[in-house]
Structures are given as C-alpha cells and as structure tokens.
Amino acid sequence: MDKSISCQKKFICFVERIKNINYEPKKIFKTIWNLLIYFLLIDFTFVFIFPFIYIITNALKSPYELVDMSTRWIVKNPILDNFRDAIVTLNYWNCLRNTLIITLLSALGQVLSCSFVAYGLARYKFPGHKLIFGIVIFSLIIPPEVLVIPLYLQYSKMKLLDTFLPIIVPCFFGMGLRGGLFIFIFRQFYKGIPRELEEAARIDGYNGIRIFFNIILPISKSPILVTSILSIVWHWNDIFEPMVYMTTPDKVVLSMALNSIMKNRAYLFVTASGEIVSPLAMAGSLLIILPLLIIYFIVQKQFMAGIERSGLTN
Amino acid sequence: MKRKFSLEKKMEMEGFIFVLPWIIGFIAFLAYPFAFSIVLAFSKVTDLSKLNLKFVGFSNFTRAFTVDVKFVPALLETVRDTLINLPLIIVYSLFIAILLNRRMKGRDFFRLMFFLPVLIGTGLIMKQLMGLYLDEDLLKSIGAADTEVRKAAGAIDLPNELLVYLGPELGQFVQQALDRLSFILWRSGIQIIIFLGGLQSIPDSLYESAYCDGATAWESFWKITLPLMTPTILVNIIYTLIDWFTSVDNKIMEYITEQSFKQLDLAYGSAIGWIFFIFITLLIGIVFLIIGRYTVYIGER
C-alpha cells in the first residue's frame, strides 16, 4: 500500500517534469548539437584507444589462437607467455635500469639548467640577451643529424662512447633533447610572475641566485612538472641518440631493444585474418610504456593544469 | 662599504651568471659541432680512424643533386608529406581544442585521451601502435604478398565490402588517406595543447559584447576567435613544421643517418644534412613572412 503510493508520487513527479521541459526548437537543436559533439569526440578517442586494445589482445594470444579464425578480440585462454618471453628477449631489467638512469638524470639536468638559464633570460637585460634567446629558439630547428656526427667523433676520441655521459651531460647545460623548448617554456612562465616578490627579497639583501633558488624555484611547480614529464617521455622514447652512442649489448636501452625485436622476422606471425603481427613485440611495447602510463595517470590532473597555464602559448 | 660596480653593472653580471651554463653548453654541444660539420661537408675523409680530411669544395653538394638518385626523391617526399599534413593538423587540432574548451561533462576524460599521444606518441611505440614498423624489406623477407598484407593496427580500416565497391585504385587511395588521418591524429597532441592555451587567453568580455550586439556563435568564431588565434596558429605552424622535419623517423632523416652511420660516409652525410637544414630554414622563414602579415594582436587596432 505504502509502496504503491510512493510509486504513484514518483510517477506524478515524472509527468510533471516532462510537462515542464521546454520544447523550444532551439533547445532541441542544442541537445542534438551536444550529442553530435560527444559522438565526434568519442570517435576520435577511439582512434587512440583502438591500437591499445589491438596490442593487448594480440599480446595475450597463444600461437593457436593467433591462427584461430574465431578469436579476434576476446581471447578465450589469455596467456602471459609473451610477456615472459619479452622480458627475457628484451633483457628487460637491465635495459630498464639503463633507461631509468638516462631518463631521470637527463630530466633532472634539463629542469635545473633550463629553469636557471630561462630565469636569466626573463629577468636580466645584459648585452646580448636577445641574441641568446634567438639562438635558443633557432637551435630547435637544427636537425640532430647535423650535430651528431662531429659529436660522435669527439666522444670517440675522448673514449666516452658506450657510456651514458654523451646523453646526460648536455642536459645539464641547457642543451639535450629539445632543451630550447624547455628554456622557452620556463621563460614564458617567469615573464608572467610579478616582480614585487623579487624586489622585496632584494631589499632584504638577497642576491639573484639566492632569490632564484629560495623564492622562484618553489613557486614554479607547474612548469617544472610539465618540463620534467615531457623530458622524461622524450628521453624514454628516444632511439636516435642511444643508437649512435651505445654499442655494447650491456648498455642497450629499452627503445633499442624493442627495435631489434620489431626488426626480427622470426617473431612475426600471420594471423587468421591475414594480418602480420609480432606478439612478442606487442608484449614488449606494453612493458615499455607501462611505467610511462602509470606516471601519466598519477600526475595527469596537475600536468593538464600546468600545461595549459605554462608558456607553451604566446 | 665599498662598491666596486654600479648597481646596473652588478645586475648585468648576475644575468650573465644565469646564462653561463647555457653558453658553455652552446659552445661545447652546439657551436663546435655546428662548425665542424660545415668543415666536414666541404671535405673528404681520407682516413676514418685518424680523421684526416681533404678539402674538396662543393663536390659533396653537387653529388647530392647530380649523382645520388635517392636524395632528391627522399627530400621531396618529406616535404610533400609535411605540406599535406600541415593544414590538416592545424585545422584538426584547432577544431578539437575548440570542442575541448567548452564546458561539458566528461571533459577531463577527453583531455586525458587527447593528450595520451603526447606521452607515447613519439618514437617507436607509436610506430608499433600504428603498425608502421612493418617496412617493405621485412615484409618481402617473409614472402608476404601485397594483397594479404594489412598494416598491423592502422587504427582506421576500410571494410572489405567498401573496398570492393570502390575498386582497387580508389579504395587504396581512400585507405591511404585514412592511414594518413590516423597518423595525424596521433601527432597533434602538443598542437591541441597550444591551441587550448591560446583559446583561454581570449577575454570573455569580447564574446559577451558580441553576443549583446546580436552576433551568433558562428559569426563570433569568424570575427573574434579566428583573428585573435592567428598568433597561436603561427606558433603552431612553426612547431608542426619543426616537429615533422626534425623527427628522426622521416624519410630524409633516415637517409642521412644511413649515409653517415651505416655507410660511414661522414662527409657526405653532413653535406646532405646541411642541404636539408638550409632548406628547412628557408621554408620556415617564408612561412613566417607570409603568415606574419596576417596575424592580429590584441593590443593593436
């Protein structure tokens, strides 16, 4: 009895609400418009997710299921053999250690040096500061191939080949992978900070370098986050520099190891639908991006906010 | 207290200290190799181990255009690809940025997705995701016939029925266009971010006053958004050009790497590297001049 009354009430409320909805054509148009936009966005999102689904399913398939016509997306008996094999073939833990050393040290170097230099470019007017900024921007369009040959010769003379130094050291001097872009990002950020903070500190007798480390660096969290993420990602995925400077198998980084798996035809399979896949390479690439994805999902909120606020624009 | 320098001088010195690391880096890792590669480009390596050089003038450069049959096609292909993709990337990323700039449910999710390529969209993983690692030599080596080969995960696939209906030539063309499209989607993460920042810098008051004057959303897009976005568009065009030209996996870059590190012809490698570099610089300069004329800044008028 009680229940039916409440049901009735709910129904009446519902009818009332439907009656109250405005059936203006403009509003209907707007709803359709919104739906269309969602449809489009989901469509585009699919383009980004689809390869992941493809790779995950193929990495989980056993050889039998790869040639089985009836299995396309949902793997009946997922196996982890491919991942186990990939860890062995990639020499995963060794490569991961190498990659981590290079990536983290380079990112640290780039964040420190680029922010330091950018502060000088943003706040001080000394002779040649415009020229230096011009060169910083110009250095972005120099193809790495032009520079790498002389550097390679130089490092081989100094017996620095096969160490991580050729990749890490330039990062501590504001160079390295797209160092110019990071200087640019930091400079835009510092230009936007009001000067009052520094002037107050200067009256208290701080010099520029103390101001930078004690005041400016603590408040520039968002560009630091953005540049360190970008730097980590770009170094993580970079294959060109390690390929040039590293020669012994001991010093191989993840991207190089994956490349050799991808180029090895022994690992290729022809699936039932005539596609050529390499389950081992797929498992391997999942293993390689996994650390990046984890970092991304942890910091994505701050990263997004930072990247919109920081100086990529203007 | 004695003061050696005036305050102005002191500030200059401080600024100099800040830039000092960069100057050291510039000399060691940029200026020196830059100059050395010019020397290399004009010479011939007579002894690789001792690096004995012989000055040969422009012969490396003339070789690139007259003797080498692979260089010019690779250069043209890179340029063609870039020039076709550039407008598509700009329009697409502006469009997505405008959609993502609206207030709506699930915006954070979509942003997360659209920035995903920024993180993994560089380098090998993307090649793996797009199935581009299956280069022709590899396919030939396993004896795969062209017809049965589909690129691994090339994101957007035409259904077979449609391919039959369109016929082989048109079908292949549409398929190539789709492949290009998914490639573009994967390469435009940073551009979307730059546009989003640009959109947020346009003051709301402009739209409000336009709305009061009776402008529709369509009109205010063409009359407010687009003109005020021109500086951002310029930045984006330049960024895209640089990104495509200097990415390691385009045709010409692969060719330069092959010449200098596989064939070990360092002099010739640097010569073609220099031709390419001068070419990029000219192209970017031209773009800058043409588009720079149409840009509008908020302060002007």
Inside any domain, residue B14: no
Indicate the DSSP class of residue A194. -
pLDDT tens readout for residues A72-129: 667 777 778 888 888 888 888 999 999 999 999 999 999 999 999 999 998 888 888 8
pLDDT digits (tens, 9 = 90+) for B252-263: 887 888 888 777
Interface contact B124-A258, CB threshold 8 A: yes
Print burial letters for A6-20: b (CB count within 10 Å at least 16), e (below 16): eeeeeeeeeeeeeee
**Helix, coil or strand: residue A230:** helix
- pLDDT more than 90, % of chain A: 9
Q: Which residue of B has its CA nearest to A309?
A: B197
| Structure tokens, B139 | 């396919």
Count of CB atoms situated within 10 Å of the CB of B243: 18
- Whether residues A285 and B125 touch (CB distance < 8 A) is answered with yes
Residue A295, amino acid = I
Whole-angstrom distance, CA of residue B260 vs CA of residue B249: 15
Q: Which of B160, B186, B212 is the last residue of a domain?
A: B186
Long-range contact set of residues A65-73: C-beta below 8 Å, sequence gap at least 24: A66/A269, A66/A271, A66/A272, A66/A277, A66/A279, A67/A269, A67/A270, A67/A271, A67/A272, A68/A272, A69/A272, A69/A273, A71/A272, A72/A273
Prediction ipTM score: 0.78
Closest CA to A145 of B262, B37, B196: B37
> Are both B241 and B211 inside the same structural domain?
yes
Domain check: are B236 and B128 in the same one? Answer: no
Closest among A55, A217, A181, A188 to B243, alpha carbons compared: A181
Return mean pLDDT, chain B: 77
Assess B7–A contact: CB distance below 8 Å, yes or no.
no
B238 and B128 within one domain: no
DSSP letter, residue B138: H
Q: Which of residues 243-272 of B touch A (CB under 8 A)?
A: 245-246, 248, 253, 256-257, 260-261, 266, 269-270
Closest CB to A117 among B18, B139, B201: B18
Which of the listed residues B135, B160, B186 is the one where a domain comes to its end?
B186
A26 touches chain B (CB under 8 A): no
* β pairing state of A269-270 and B43-47: unpaired
B116-126 pLDDT per residue, tens? 777 665 556 66
Binary contact (A175, B29; C-beta < 8 A): yes
CA trace torsion A28, A32, A35, A36 (10° rounding): -160
Length of chain B counted residue by residue: 301
Query: Which of A63-77, A177-191, A206-220, B266-280 bottoms out in mean pLDDT, i.e. has the lowest?
Result: A63-77
What pLDDT band is residue B142 in, cutting at 50, 70 and 90? low
Residue A218 has a CB neighbour count (10 Å cut-off) of 9
User: Residue A229: its chain B contacts at CB < 8 A?
Assistant: 119
A296 touches chain B (CB under 8 A): yes
As a dihedral over the C-alpha atoms of residue B118, residue B124, residue B130, residue B134, rounded to 10 degrees, the angle is 170
**Among A residues 247-266, those touching chain B with beta carbons less than 8 Å apart:** 255, 258-259, 262-263, 265
For chain A, which domains are there? 2-60 (no CATH), 89-309 (1.10.3720.10)
Q: What is the C-alpha end-to-end distance of chain B, expressed in Å?
A: 52
Say yes or no: B300 and B209 in one domain.
Answer: yes
HEC profile of B184-225:
HHHCCHHHHHHHHHHHHCCCHHHHHHHHHCCCCHHHHHHHHH
3-class SS of residue B129? helix
* pLDDT value of residue A114: 93
Collect all residues with Cβ–Cβ distance below 8 Å to A206 and sequence separation of at least 6. A214, A215
Asked whether residue B169 falls in the same domain as residue B295, the answer is: no
CB-CB under 8 Å, B15 with A123: yes
Q: Which domain holds residue B176?
A: 122-186
Phi, psi of A126 (to 5 degrees): -115, 160
> Mean pLDDT throughout B182-198?
80
Closest residue in A to B23 (Cα) is: A173
Both B275 and B126 in one domain: the answer is no
Are residues B202 and B176 part of one domain? no
B235 CB within 8 Å of a chain A CB: yes
| Number of domains into which chain B is organized | 2
Domain end among B134, B158, B186: B186
Domain assignment present for B116: no
